[in-house]
Each structure stands twice: as structure tokens, then as C-alpha cells.
A and B are shown apart, each in its own frame.
Chain A
Amino acid sequence: MIRKTPMLTILLALALAASGCRPTPAPAPSPMPAEAEFSGKIIEAGSTTVQPLAEKLAEAFMARHPKVEIIVQGGGSSVGVKSAGEGTVDVGAASREVKDSEKEKYPDLVVHTIAYDGVAIVVHPEVPIDGLTMEQVRDIFAGKIANWKEVGGPDKPIVVVSREEGSGTRACFEELVMGKDGPLITEKAILQPSNGAVRTTVATTPYSIGYLSFGFLDPSIKGLVLDGVKPTVENVVAGKYPVVRPLNLLTKGKPTGVVKAWLDFILCEEGQKIVVEEGYIAVR
């Protein structure tokens, strides 16, 4: 007990200091367009790919405007479009383009692209292949190529890992790799319900291949060179990497008040810096 007390005191002091920090407005001169005092509550919901980024962007904005409360929820891209269109949330999030059918249903949706995200093709780190062509990737995911030896690898069956139907990452992969009227992803594919789960599965399953958001690339898996282009942010910015999708925030009608202030903040220099820090690609 006695040994614990100083620890507790330090923690308490830290907590106090941290909470004391919050209300202080950022001292540095800010590139924000309007530095007025905002207050209010914003509810954001939708894409789970956008969620961690939106949380960071909300935190930074709330630190600057302590009277603003931003609640970030998940739900998936389709939920983001639906709830923004129906006006049940202030801001919806979608890690894909808004479909034509959705635009028809919710004509007042305004799309704000806050970042771009690449989708990388990844393999188990021990797969002795560093790159594939777009066509080879398509044939592998369609189940036409089922053995690594057909693309210059060892004589081992390929384990295909994919996302579930409806995922924004899958939609992007299907559109840009499989092609709009191209083949379907093989029914044998192991399906995992999140980027993180795909990464774990590919990292632990020998001879597996999958795809995931750039934000989830790490040394536990190997990102493949696609058509001779490495999956890096630089290559996306240079327009070389082909599998890229927008991360969108959606509002019903033109944003006003505190919602507009938050979106402006996201699109300004500081917000875009956070976008880059999180491994995504800035829109500017």
C-alpha cells in the first residue's frame, strides 16, 4: 500500500495536468480559416476504415475547441451513406465512392474527400515472390490460378484471403483489380471481417495472399509490387500505384456551423498532417 501511494499521486498529478491542458487553446498561430469559438456536438458514423482516422481528427479538433464534442461511431460504409442521407447523423463516413443508386436515393448528399487510401496486395512473408501483375492477381483471386508455381513460385496451393461482401476495401479491390464486369472472387476464399483480421490471417497462414488498406501494412506481412510499382504513399501521390480509393465524409446538404468548421479543419494543413501521420494520403 505504502509503495503504491507515490505511484498513485504521480498518476493523479498527471491526470490533472492532462485535463488542465485541454481547455488551453493552441498557442501557435493557426492556419485555420476561422478561429471563432465553436460549441456543439457532432455525431459521425460509418466506415470502419475511416473510423480510426476520424477519431484522431476529432481529438485534435476537440483539443482546440473544448466546447465541441465529436462522437465517432463505426457501422460500415453503407451505414455511413444511409445515416448521412437520412440525416440521423451529422456526418457519414464511406471508404468508397457513393454509388449511383445511393445518389439517387439521397440527392442532397455532399461528398467531402478527406484523404486517399491505397489498397495493397499482401502475402505471407515467406512467399518467395515480390511482385505480380494486375492480371495475375485477378486470376489468383478468381481462382483461375490456384498454385504458386504458375506465377513462378513453389509448388504450393494458394490460400486466398478476402474481405466480406459489402466492405469498402473489397468494393475498391473488386472495382480496380477484378474489374467492374470481371470475374467474382473465388468462393473458396477465406473471408475475414476487418483489415486487422485479414492481416492476422495472412501473417499466420503459409502461402496465403490477401489485400488491405495501406494503413495496416506492417512487417508481419509482405506488400507486393503490383505491375512493377511498390505499394507506397509516394507512388500513390505520383499517380503510379493503381489501386486507390477516396475516404469520404458525407453531409446532407452543405455543411454549416460547427460541422463546417470541423471539415475545414480536416482539409486544412493541420488536419491533413494527421492524415499523413496515420498512413493515408493527403488530398492536397
Chain B
Amino acid sequence: MQARRLKERIILYLLAFCALAALVTLLLIALFTLKEGLPAFREIGLGKLLLGKVWRPQREQFGLVPMILGSIYVTIGALLLGVPPALGCAVFLAEVAPAGVRAAIRPAVELLAGIPSVVYGLFGMAVLVPLVRRIPVPGNTGYGLLSASIVLAVMILPTIASIAEDAIRAVPREYKEGALALGATHWQAIRGVILPAARSGILAAIILGMGRALGETMAMIMVIGNSIMIPRPLNANPLTLVLSQARTLTGNIAVEIAYATGLHESALFATGVVLFVLIVIVNNLTRLLMRRRK
């Protein structure tokens, strides 16, 4: 009897330990990044870091605005390009596709999520960049926001598609049946009843995709050009903004950390802190939306 209880206890503690490990790791990483970034916050100042427009470490200028904007633009671009096909895919898989077709497409979508990002980067560099370069605008190098957004759109598609599909499937059958009974066509039922009912789940899917887009590094380095400039249109046409080179927050760290020392190194950790805060915000948004769904 005693031995049984002891065994039970040990297993419970073991389980709790596993759960704690994730929490402790997160705390350690957050603390470490903060600690390493602290000299930058102290010596450069939060204001100059967040609002400075020039990143020239050798001149002791550490403004993160170009990278913050780069990350935001490329994420918006990826969402604009990636969300519509991802939702189309989700609706098709959940509502339209016969079981056989679904069995073929779903694994393919999931496999898309498993491709290492460096492979996406290679594909982008070898195929997309030369294609984008054909857009006849002077100064267009092919490297930039458009190429990066397309690559990211493909990368976040599986995340959004599979979570949105689950959300659509979670809509009670009666809703759809009710709509059909009232004489709605299948498409009218999808648009008017099912999608609105699954709205919060779909939003959560999009925000998760957004988190992934913000954090992506390797593929971005390979196609975005990594210039330290604030992204801006190449000529009078504001649409040429998408052809501008840029650098993301993640890329800023990955490109420079190998050679950085002193304040420069600390500023890169501070970049990590900014990214960390951004992602915490995005994740909390997701949680909030998920909770509202229940």
C-alpha cells in the first residue's frame, strides 16, 4: 500500500518537473537576454534604441527603427499574401473536399510546415529573387520585402490552414444544417454562418501565423537583402516600397552576432528583448481570442 502511494507520488512529481522545465527554460532565456541587453538599455537608452533611425554600430549608433519597420512590413506582407489562400485551403479541406481528396491534401500541407526554413530561403534566393528582379523598376535588386513576404506567406500557410480548418470543423453541425434548411446554398452557409461562427478560431490561427512570421530568421536573411536602411519606395510610386531592401529584427541578430563585442553585442541582445516583447504581445492576443471562443 505504502509502496504504491510512493510510486504514485514520484510519478506526479516527475510530471510536475517536466511541466516546470518549460517554464524554467523560458524564464532563464528571458533573464539571460535581458541581462545581456541591459548594458545597451543603460548606455544607449530605451528611447534611442526604439526610436533611433540609424544602425551604425561602428559609430555607436544603435537605432532599431529600420529593423522594427522591416519586421512589421514583411509580416504584414506575408499576412496579405498568405492568409487568403490559407483560409481558402481551410474551407476547402473542412467543407468542400471529399474524404479522399482531403486525405491527399492535408498531409501535403502538413509537410509544407516541416520543410526547414533554410530550404525555403534557398528556393527564394534561386527562384523568387530572379523573378522579382524582372519587375522593371530602376534600383530593383530582387532582394527585398516582396521576395521575403512571398517566402514567409508560403511558410505560414500550413500553420494558418490547419488551425483554421480545426476551427471551422468545431462549428456545430446544427448551424450549417439550419442555414441549409432555410434555403441557403452551400457557399452562402459557409460565408454567412460557418465562417462567422469560427471567427475567433480563425483569428487565433492568423495571429499564430503572425508569430511565426515575426520569428522567422534564416529564410529572411537569404532573400531580404539585410540592408540597414529604413524601407522606402524606390521612386515616386509608393507601391515600389515592396521592392525595397530591409532587415528584420531576427536577421539583425543573426547577421551580426558572430562578430559583435561589447556594446554592439549588448545592443543585439536588446534587439532580442524587443523581439521577445513583440512575440509575447502576439501570443497573448492569441490566448485572449482563444478564450473568447469558449
Contact = CB atoms under 8 A, between A and B. Distances in A.
A190 B255 contact: no
B158 interface: no
Contact of B259 (A76, A174, A184): A76
Interface stretch (A11-19, A27-35, A160-168, A276-284): A160-168
A255 interface: no
A167 B141 CA distance: 23
Interface string A54-92: 000000000000000000001111110010000000000
B227 A164 contact: no
B259 A79 contact: yes
Contact of B256 (A79, A159, A164, A208): A164
B141 A205 contact: yes
B106 to A, nearest CB: 36
B258 interface: yes
Nearest to A197: B222
Interface residues of A, number: 30
Interface in B246-262: 247, 254-256, 258-261
Contacts of B258: 48, 74-76, 79, 166, 193
B130 interface: yes
Contact of B226 (A74, A192, A204, A205): A192
Given A188-B229, A190-B227, A191-B225, A165 B256 contact: yes
Tell me if A's interface is mostly helix, strand, loop or mixed. mixed
A157 interface: yes
Contacts of A206: 133
Interface residues of B, number: 30
Contact of A187 (B125, B129, B227, B261): B227
Given A75-B258, A165-B256, A165-B259, A190 B143 contact: yes
A193 B253 CA distance: 11
A86 to B, nearest CB: 12
B56 interface: yes
B229 A187 contact: yes
Contacts of A208: 141
Nearest to B66: A187
Query: Which of B126, B260, B264 has the most chain A CB within a 10 Å cutoff?
Result: B260
Contacts of A168: 259
A78 B261 contact: yes
A42 interface: no
B138 interface: yes
A270 B202 CA distance: 66
A277 B125 CA distance: 31
B142 interface: yes
Interface string B120-133: 00000110011001
A193 B141 contact: no
B254 A193 contact: yes
A258 interface: no
A264 B80 CA distance: 60
A98 interface: no
A159 B141 CA distance: 7
B227 A205 contact: no
Contacts of B130: 204
A189 interface: yes
Contacts of B56: 165, 184
20 contacts: A76-B258, A77-B259, A79-B258, A164-B256, A164-B259, A165-B260, A166-B261, A166-B264, A167-B259, A187-B229, A188-B245, A189-B227, A190-B226, A191-B226, A191-B228, A191-B247, A193-B255, A193-B258, A205-B133, A205-B143
Interface of A: 48, 74-79, 82, 157, 159, 164-168, 174, 184, 187-193, 200-201, 204-206, 208
Across the A-B interface, give the 6 residue pairs with the lowest CB-CB distance, nearest first.
Answer: A166-B259, A76-B259, A191-B226, A76-B258, A187-B229, A190-B225
Given A77-B259, A190-B227, A193-B226, 12 more contacts: A75-B258, A164-B256, A166-B260, A166-B261, A174-B58, A184-B59, A190-B143, A190-B245, A191-B227, A193-B255, A205-B143, A206-B133
